[in-house]
Amino acid sequence: MSDNDIDEGEGPTADGSGIVAPDDETPTWSERKERSQGLSRLTYEYFERARREDQDLRVESDYVERDVLAFPAWPHEMVRNLALTSFFVGMTVFLAAAMPPHIGAPANPSNTPAVILPDWYLYWSFGLLKLGPLNPDLALLGGQKLMADRTYGVLANLVVVGFISIVPFLNKGAARRPVEQPFWAAVGVGGVVYAATISALSVKNLLPMDSHLLFDLTFLLPIVAGCIAYAVFKSMREGYMFELNRRYYRLRPPK
Amino acid sequence: MADEFAKGFTILVTAGLAWLTLAGWYNTPSFEGQQLTAADPTSGLTVYDQVALVLKDALFWFAILGFVTFVVVIPAVRKLREAYDGTPEVPE
């Protein structure tokens, strides 16, 4: 801001003389960076030294420079990883010390609990077993169902697992960011929301809401979320930051 | 924008963690019962307990209001001032 305030009043004239900075007064970009204060100066010096050491090492070695956009593992990546590791270890120790978990009475193997549920990360599979209302009554069979509801639920598991196992074989292109491919990103958002809603369906007798409404929402919410995500990603495909990030994240072709 | 977001986020997670701990001590009567939201205990409170209960409420609102202030209010005021002054928008 203060840089702009200096040259107020003597803007570029019609002959273009104001565009050129007065010689010996305009700082270069490196001088600008060096003059800045505090943390930004420290960061600049750190990276500048790291860059310089890197350059010296490259010059004096027969190291073949790879065309990869990254920092060296030591110290940059390792410092970051140690910081993250310390944070999570500290958080675990803090929570374990401040709020020790409850240890319940030992399980009684001769008693069946009132509520039987799988672990939470398998709720989606448990929910797929409750798709009975989608199992069609076939007029050809005189209104009978082709298979039992439980068979239908197990087959639904196969469909979901089969679809997920196809994903690695789909050509998703070189894009690394959801905003580059709004449609497929929206499909992904719908899938994540569906995982949440089908998990909620699996515990429908524990949820304080109408189970028919819950069943409808299980399939409507993913579609709604996908549409919203598509609109958001589409609207994000413009602007300065989008272009900048696209240039930054584009992988360079191998030589 | 990024700086303001980091400040607000720091307030949210730090004050939120402290609130979580205090609520876990005072407002979670049993592991399988109500979690973090049960009524405050009324009897047998020492001075430290009473201070902690006041601190718990203060931290809860500090987490929410601090986050909203730095992430919503301050950027909005800046945008409004930019629009009012007619200066070009700074890309963030």
ipTM above 0.85 for this complex: no
**Is the CB of A239 less than 8 angstroms away from the CB of B91?**
yes
Res A3 pLDDT > 50: no
d(CA A21, CA A33): 18
Residue-wise pLDDT tens digits, B47-84: 999 999 999 999 999 999 999 999 999 999 988 988 88
- In chain A, the residue whose alpha carbon lies closest to the alpha carbon of B91 is A240
Which positions ≥6 away from A228 have C-beta within 8 Å?
A: none
d(CA A45, CA A217): 55
Residue B51, pLDDT score: 96
Residue-wise pLDDT tens digits, A177-221: 888 889 989 999 999 999 999 999 998 888 889 989 999 999 999
Q: How many domains does chain B have?
A: 1
Whole-number percent of chain A with pLDDT over 90? 33
Rg (CA), chain A: 30
- Choice between B39 and A63, residue whose per-residue pLDDT is larger: B39
Provide the domain limits for residue B31: 2-85
Output the pTM of the full model. 0.55
CB–CB of A145/A136 below 8 Å? yes
Q: Does A240 touch chain B (CB under 8 A)?
A: yes
> What residues of A are in contact with residue B27 (Cβ under 8 Å)?
none
Nearest-CA distance B81 → chain A (Å): 14
Residue A2, pLDDT score: 45
Rg (CA), chain B: 19
* Paired strand residues for A145: A137
Residue-wise pLDDT tens digits, A106-143: 888 999 888 888 999 999 999 898 887 887 777 667 67
**Domain residue spans of chain A:** 25-98, 120-249
B39 in a domain, yes or no? yes
A238: left (phi over 0), alpha (psi -120 to 50) or beta: beta
- In chain B, the residue whose alpha carbon lies closest to the alpha carbon of A239 is B91
Q: Which of A99, A240, A241 sits opposite B21 (nearest CB)?
A: A99
Q: Which of B24, B30, B91 sits opposite A240 (nearest CB)?
A: B91
Establish how many alpha carbons lie within 13 A of residue A159's alpha carbon, considering only the half-sphere containing its beta carbon.
Answer: 10
